[in-house]
Amino acid sequence: MKIAIVGATGAVGRELLKVLEQRNFPVSELRLYASARSAGRGMVFRGEEIAVEALPEAPLPVDVVLASAGSGISKQYAPIWATQSVVIDNSSAFRYEPDVPLIVPEINPHAIRSHKNIIANPNCTTAILLMALHPLHKAFKARKVIVSTYQSASGAGASGMEELLQGTKEFLAGRAVEHKTFAHPLPFNVIPQIDAFQENGYTKEEMKVLWETQKIMEDPEIRVSCTAVRVPTLRVHSEAVTVEFEKPVSPEAARAVLSAAPGVDLVDDPATKRYPMPLSATGKFNVEVGRIRKSLVFDNGLDFFVAGDQLLKGAALNAVQIAELLQKPVAI
């Protein structure tokens, strides 16, 4: 396949380059696009340096466009790219369009059959949650989900990571910490706001988890309440999850389901202090799940903890997995 990465110099763009190489994706030609100020920069793929090009206002000469340059760019250009390429879009621009499939390959690969040359990649928080929730939903039928997230600085891109690192240096030096990417200084702080507040008091990030869970799991009846919090870690989103199920469930039964689930690593041995953490989940393709225990609130309920690298399963890895689906005849 001829592949283009739009937003190649950003945090997700750089990960897309690595994932294509790590998964030995069949690339016959790779084009890298970014803003005009990044044009000419060299990036290495499979030992070869490729020059970044300024993004043109025209269709791109490739089979698949992996877009990660923000919803504004995607809204403007994805319909143009889609005239001759399949667009896998990492932004929120098309996720809620009824005729655009929203795909997590381990969960709803069949939905790709309806694509009209634009396919949406889910929000990173949702993708990480559903890697654990969906297999449990299939086994025990989830009805109500309460999620509190611990989202790292890289969820806001390369600028978020840089702001955290620079702000930490300023804080430790006793100087005032400036902030532009985040609503407040992030070093040694947590911020219970990600994205804009909505009329119902939830942020848009929190509502995305509800909307996308219902669409991906094809269950409009499932109810989700999310509180999204930015924390001062560089990579990996972690989530504390409480679920009420229709069917009786035990921690032992849940562990059996999750241990067989694709893309999941069961890390659940409190006696030896093994549980999901950003330190262990960073750079991993799989999502870690642990701290599984019976809910003290719901009769048919579980509590568990999830940690996943949102630059990978929450973004670049999931996009490349979608591209892999396109290689299968049933997906076309």
Residues labelled catalytic: 124, 237
Tell whether 283 is in a known binding site. Answer: no
Tell whether 12 is in a known binding site. Answer: yes
Tell whether 93 is in a known binding site. Answer: no
Tokens of 123: 């929000």
Strand duo 2-6 + 142-151: pairing? unpaired
50 close to 43: Cβ distance less than 8 angstroms: yes
Tell whether 193 is in a known binding site. Answer: no
Strands (DSSP E) found in the chain = 2-6, 29-34, 42-45, 48-54, 64-67, 86-89, 118-120, 142-151, 223-230, 237-245, 264-266, 287-294, 301-308
* Beta partners for residue 269, in sequence order: 274
* Beta partners for residue 66, in sequence order: 5, 88
124 close to 155: Cβ distance less than 8 angstroms: yes
Q: How far apart are CA 238 and CA 149, in angstroms?
A: 6
Tell whether 8 is in a known binding site. Answer: no
Q: How far apart are CA 317 and CA 325, in angstroms?
A: 13
Tell whether 154 is in a known binding site. Answer: yes
DSSP letters, 167-197, are: HHHHHHTTPPPP-SSSSS--TT--BS--SPB
* Amino acid occupying residue 132: A
Contacts of 49 by beta carbon, 8 Å cutoff, 6+ apart: 42, 43
Q: How far apart are CA 71 and CA 223, in angstroms?
A: 26
74 close to 121: Cβ distance less than 8 angstroms: no
Tell whether 70 is in a known binding site. Answer: no
Tell whether 155 is in a known binding site. Answer: yes
Tell whether 151 is in a known binding site. Answer: yes
- The residue count of the chain comes to 332
Compute the radius of gyration of the chain from its Cα atoms: 20
Tokens of 147: 């999620």
Q: How far apart are CA 205 and CA 207, in angstroms?
A: 5
Tell whether 7 is in a known binding site. Answer: no
Known binding-site positions: 9-12, 37-38, 95, 151, 154-155, 230, 310
Known binding-site positions for NADP(+): 9-12, 37-38, 154-155, 310
Known binding-site positions for phosphate: 95
Known binding-site positions for substrate: 151, 230
